[in-house]
Amino acid sequence: MKVLVIAAHDARQLDAVTARLVGAAGKLSPAEVHVLVMGSGCAAVAGQAATLGGVSRVLCADAPHLAQPNAETVARQLAALALAEGYRFVVAAHGMAARAALPRAAALRDAAFLADVTAVESAQSLVRPMYAGSVLARVRPQAAQVFMTVRPAAHEPCAQAAAACEVGTVAAVAPDTRIRLVGRDEAGDTRPDLARARVVVAGGRGVGAAEHMKLVEALADHLGGAVGASRAAVDAGFAPNAIQVGQTGKTVAPDVYMAFGISGAIQHLAGIKDARVIVAVNKDADAPIFSVADIGLVGDLFEVLPALRRALPELRHAS
């Protein structure tokens, strides 16, 4: 049984998420894990993928239109490769791009699609959350091929291999031009990436106004962490959608998640369930977030935020 992992990269460097995907794929098929690197001029990234432990082969699909492909083009590429190589599972990191491309690829192959797999017990038993994380479903796939997205933070990364494996090439499919990317806006934030940060400081509706988010940002910068926000804060205009945490935003798994003025709707809790330590500060002693917090403080965030910044050591330069 063969498994194909879709590598995450920025055209220069392999994303650390890929090692976690390979770790999950190894539980599906310890012997036959392949990695697909798509892009333009991606030979160097393919070489990096070849050093991941447990990978038996790396495939490189190199073409200009794969540098920033749309979901339809990625689906064509994956469906063609799944047909040619007979992969039982095709695995990608759970995110907007994969959630758009993999269901399309599954439809082209008349295959199954699973989203946000958090545990791989075996090839016959996969675990994924349902109903905003309030239920964990154990799924036994019956289809001949399964396309699935995996929550990287829920899986341990694979080790480095003693020697690099074989790197081959695959033909790039023709692009699907029905949808065209017309531009890309970069946030330009110097803070750590929200989905990978070790410390996340988040604000909710309780911050009261957009200018008060600066207190949250100041603590995050002091700790060298990322800034997050609840959907309520985003909807109120206190924070941009790019930093929304939760079921309809980003899933985070930091060492420490600090929530200020966040009541803890079930959709938000679904996005932070993998955090190692959750610290919550809220004036409402009955706020749902206290039911999952490791450390909870009933208090005024406008007093607590400056006090924490004064008391905690500065970690912005720590690795």
Looking at the structure, tell me whether residues 157 and 208 fall in a common domain.
Answer: no
pLDDT digits (tens, 9 = 90+) for 256-297: 999 999 999 999 998 898 899 999 999 999 999 999 999 999
Looking at the structure, tell me whether residues 162 and 212 fall in a common domain.
Answer: no
pLDDT digits (tens, 9 = 90+) for 89-130: 999 999 889 999 999 999 999 999 999 999 999 999 999 988
Can you give the CATH number for the domain in which 215 is found?
A: 3.40.50.1220
Looking at the structure, tell me whether residues 162 and 245 fall in a common domain.
Answer: no
Within 10 A of 180 (CB to CB), how many other CB atoms are there? 8
Looking at the structure, tell me whether residues 223 and 154 fall in a common domain.
Answer: no
Domain annotation covers residue 180: no
d(CA 209, CA 226): 19
pLDDT digits (tens, 9 = 90+) for 215-225: 999 999 999 99
Q: Is the pLDDT of residue 186 over 70?
A: no
Which bin fits 240, alpha (ψ -120 to 50), beta or left (φ > 0)?
beta
Which bin fits 129, alpha (ψ -120 to 50), beta or left (φ > 0)?
beta
d(CA 89, CA 87): 6
Looking at the structure, tell me whether residues 31 and 159 fall in a common domain.
Answer: yes
Which residue has better confidence, 106 or 184? 106
Percent of the chain with pLDDT over 90: 81
| Per-residue confidence band for 195, with pLDDT thresholds at 50, 70 and 90 | confident
Domain annotation covers residue 193: no
pLDDT digits (tens, 9 = 90+) for 286-319: 999 999 999 999 999 999 999 999 999 988 655 4
Q: Is the pLDDT of residue 53 over 90?
A: yes
Residue ranges making up the domain that contains 13: 3-169
d(CA 161, CA 51): 5
* Domain count within the chain: 2
Domain annotation covers residue 203: yes
| Per-residue confidence band for 153, with pLDDT thresholds at 50, 70 and 90 | confident
| Per-residue confidence band for 187, with pLDDT thresholds at 50, 70 and 90 | low
Looking at the structure, tell me whether residues 151 and 236 fall in a common domain.
Answer: no
Looking at the structure, tell me whether residues 150 and 216 fall in a common domain.
Answer: no
CB-CB contact of 233 with 205 (8 Å):
yes
CB-CB contact of 82 with 4 (8 Å):
yes
| Per-residue confidence band for 196, with pLDDT thresholds at 50, 70 and 90 | confident
Domain annotation covers residue 183: no
* Mean pLDDT on 69-91: 96
Domain annotation covers residue 44: yes
d(CA 185, CA 165): 36
Instruction: Say what the pTM is.
Output: 0.82
Within 10 A of 187 (CB to CB), how many other CB atoms are there? 9
